[in-house]
A = this chain, B = another copy of it.
Amino acid sequence: MANIKPSLAKGTRDFTPSEMEKRNYIFNVLRAIFKKFGYSEIQTPSFENLSTLTGKYGEEGDKLIFKILNSGDYLSKVPDGALADKASNKLIPYISEKALRYDLTVPFARFVVMHQHEITLPFKRFQIQPVWRADRPQRGRYREFYQCDVDVVGSSSLLNEAEFILVYQEALEVLGLTDFTIKVNNRKVLTGIAEVIGKPELIVDMTVAIDKLDKIGLEGVNSELLERGFTPEDLAVLKPIILLEGTNQDKLASLREVLASSATGMTGIAELEEVFAYLTRFGKAELLEKVVEVDITLARGLNYYTGCIFEVKTNQVAMGSIGGGGRYDDLTGMFGLKDLTGVGISFGADRIYDVLEELNLFPASSAASTEVLIVNFEKEAESYTLPLLARLREAGVAAELYPAANKLKKQMSYADDKKIPYVLLVGEEEIQSGLLSLKNMATGEQQKASVEQLIVLLKNGTAI
């Protein structure tokens, strides 16, 4: 084997122990909340048949799907012409029949269709798995990253929408965030607006433009709307909608006036009102004042969502959305199972990680696995330290004996580097007296304790 200087594939990352602890902390918090709300975990394979993925993400998306080269003599079935052209795209179907998961949604749709006779509707699932995209890597954008999706299919009840707001709220609060906004909109309200203006065919242009309000302001939005085929009269109708202000109730009241002539628009408003009514019945009316915010400029994934749309932002750190989702009416149609409604949200795990890091919100314990290191003074002491180690572990204390009688300094820096909070010094005196010296690595303080006391101190977190 030749020696090669090892490197990571472009756009990928290793996760060190402390990074893993933090990531697992986030996933475990989310997982516990999803389960408490009745969602079950599933996983799908890392690669799918290429035909399952192709055509689901638009032309640009198709290019970003990682294709897997067929095994064996993969060129044998290629017609001569296809090779001579050197046409990379045309050759793909002959040499690749598998591709890496690009998101969790399409594999979930395939899962639902393939398992439709085993699963009971409504089917509430969550899924936390990596996805892969052949994007140009840049700061914060990787070719391998985790998605975390929660969906329910087969239930049109708006209780589901309300519960997703509760899931977001509980998750972000448990993670320690104190100021965040859950924006909500409804696709039917957007449709209603386009109808009222008399340009239902321009709904996409309209939403693309007003979605940019935050970035380019009203003037910018207006000139883009004009470019996209709207008239100055349309802008006059749109202006109060775009600049909607006040409480959620105020906004819905204004919308109700403007959209009175659109049945679809009124349905959208009624849906938002029902979701809010659910929150109130849940005893969470205060969310409607502080956290949930009607935002009709919110239009993410418009071609996909058919009802409520969500997006979550933290107000504590400058960061894009840390989650989003909505209701869709045709998830599984692409695989031949029609009219199955669903609603789902996702959590942006990488961004949430960065937010918690910036706000210093990871629990201290999530950095360490071992709680106590027994210092190894001399091999002869092992007849004392090994039974001690066994007892600590039996009591459920994560413990290690340094595996050789190296210099104390080396052993202490091992504990330091591994962020082990305590070391146990077991010298001749300690063995004689049965009172061991426990040292807090952060403060340098020491205390003496018997093995029994030690276990209580470490288990209860009451050691100095």
- A interface residues with partner B (beta carbon < 8 Å): 1-9, 12-17, 20-21, 24, 35-49, 51-52, 55-56, 63-64, 66-69, 71-76, 78, 83-84, 86-88, 91-92, 95-98, 100, 109-111, 113-115, 118-120, 122, 124-125, 130, 132, 134, 144, 152, 155-157, 159-160, 278, 281-284, 333-336, 369-370, 373, 382-383, 386-387, 389-390, 393, 396-401, 403-404, 413-414, 417-418
- The contact of A9 among B38, B45, B86, B114, by CB within 8 Å, is B45
- The contact of A414 among B120, B369, B417, by CB within 8 Å, is B120
Which residues from chain B contact A14 at a C-beta distance below 8 Å? 42-45, 111, 114-115
A333 to B119, alpha carbons, bound, how many Å?
Answer: 50
- The contact of A3 among B66, B84, B334, by CB within 8 Å, is B334
B382 and A40 contact, CB distance less than 8 A: no
16 A-B pairs within 8 Å (CB atoms) are namely A3-B334, A3-B335, A6-B52, A6-B336, A14-B115, A15-B44, A21-B40, A35-B398, A37-B400, A47-B132, A63-B72, A69-B92, A69-B95, A75-B86, A75-B88, A122-B403
B69 and A41 contact, CB distance less than 8 A: no
A390 and B41 contact, CB distance less than 8 A: no
Per CB-CB distance, the 9 closest pairs between chain A and chain B, nearest first, are: A17-B40, A12-B45, A38-B400, A157-B403, A120-B417, A71-B134, A6-B110, A15-B43, A281-B386
A74 to B134, alpha carbons, bound, how many Å?
Answer: 13
The chain B residue with its CB closest to the CB of A154 is B403
The chain B residue with its CB closest to the CB of A71 is B134
A46 and B144 contact, CB distance less than 8 A: yes
A391 to B76, alpha carbons, bound, how many Å?
Answer: 64
A123 to B333, alpha carbons, bound, how many Å?
Answer: 50
A369 and B40 contact, CB distance less than 8 A: yes
A122 to B418, alpha carbons, bound, how many Å?
Answer: 10
A270 to chain B, nearest CB (A): 15
B387 and A282 contact, CB distance less than 8 A: yes
Which residues from chain B contact A66 at a C-beta distance below 8 Å? 47, 68-69, 71, 98
Which residues from chain B contact A373 at a C-beta distance below 8 Å? 38
A418 to B3, alpha carbons, bound, how many Å?
Answer: 53
A97 to B12, alpha carbons, bound, how many Å?
Answer: 14
A1 to B55, alpha carbons, bound, how many Å?
Answer: 7
B68 and A68 contact, CB distance less than 8 A: yes
Which residues from chain B contact A418 at a C-beta distance below 8 Å? 40, 120
A282 to B86, alpha carbons, bound, how many Å?
Answer: 66
A377 to chain B, nearest CB (A): 14
A69 and B96 contact, CB distance less than 8 A: yes
Which residues from chain B contact A109 at a C-beta distance below 8 Å? 6
A75 and B100 contact, CB distance less than 8 A: no
Which residues from chain B contact A130 at a C-beta distance below 8 Å? 46
A293 to chain B, nearest CB (A): 22
